[in-house]
Amino acid sequence: MMIRLADVEDAAALDHFFGQLDRETRFMLYEAGERPSNIEGQRQRLEAMAAVPNQTMWLLVLAEEVQGFAVLIGGGLARNRHCALVVMGLRSSARGQGWGERLLRTLIASAPDCGISRLELGVMAHNEVAHSLYRKCGFLDEGLRRQAYRLDEGYVDEISMGLLLPPTTP
pLDDT value for 167: 64
Q: Average pLDDT of the chain?
A: 92
Looking at residue 87, which CATH number applies to its domain?
Answer: 3.40.630.30
**54 within a domain of the structure (yes/no):** yes
pLDDT value for 10: 94
pLDDT value for 22: 87
**67 within a domain of the structure (yes/no):** yes
**132 within a domain of the structure (yes/no):** yes
What pLDDT, in 10s, does the model give residues 98-139?
999 999 999 999 999 999 999 999 999 999 999 999 999 999
Q: What does residue 89 show for φ and ψ, rounded to 5 degrees?
A: -160, 150
Looking at the predicted structure, is the pLDDT value of residue 170 above 70? no
**169 within a domain of the structure (yes/no):** no
Average pLDDT over residues 73-86: 96
What is the torsional sign of CA 108, 6, 65, 28? positive
What pLDDT, in 10s, does the model give residues 19-49?
999 888 888 777 777 777 789 889 999 999 9
**59 within a domain of the structure (yes/no):** yes
Looking at the predicted structure, is the pLDDT value of residue 148 above 70? yes
**170 within a domain of the structure (yes/no):** no
Looking at the predicted structure, is the pLDDT value of residue 94 above 70? yes
Work out how many domains the chain is built from and give that number. 1
**156 within a domain of the structure (yes/no):** yes
**17 within a domain of the structure (yes/no):** yes
pLDDT value for 23: 86
The boundaries of the domain holding residue 44 are 2-164
164 pLDDT band, cuts 50/70/90, is very high
169 pLDDT band, cuts 50/70/90, is low
105-112, long-range: CB within 8 Å, 24+ apart, which pairs?
A: 105/137, 106/3, 106/58, 106/70, 107/56, 107/58, 107/70, 107/71, 107/72, 108/137, 108/138, 108/163, 108/165, 110/56, 110/58, 110/72, 111/72, 111/84, 111/165, 112/165, 112/166, 112/168
pTM: 0.91
3-state secondary structure at position 7: coil
Average pLDDT over residues 38-64: 92
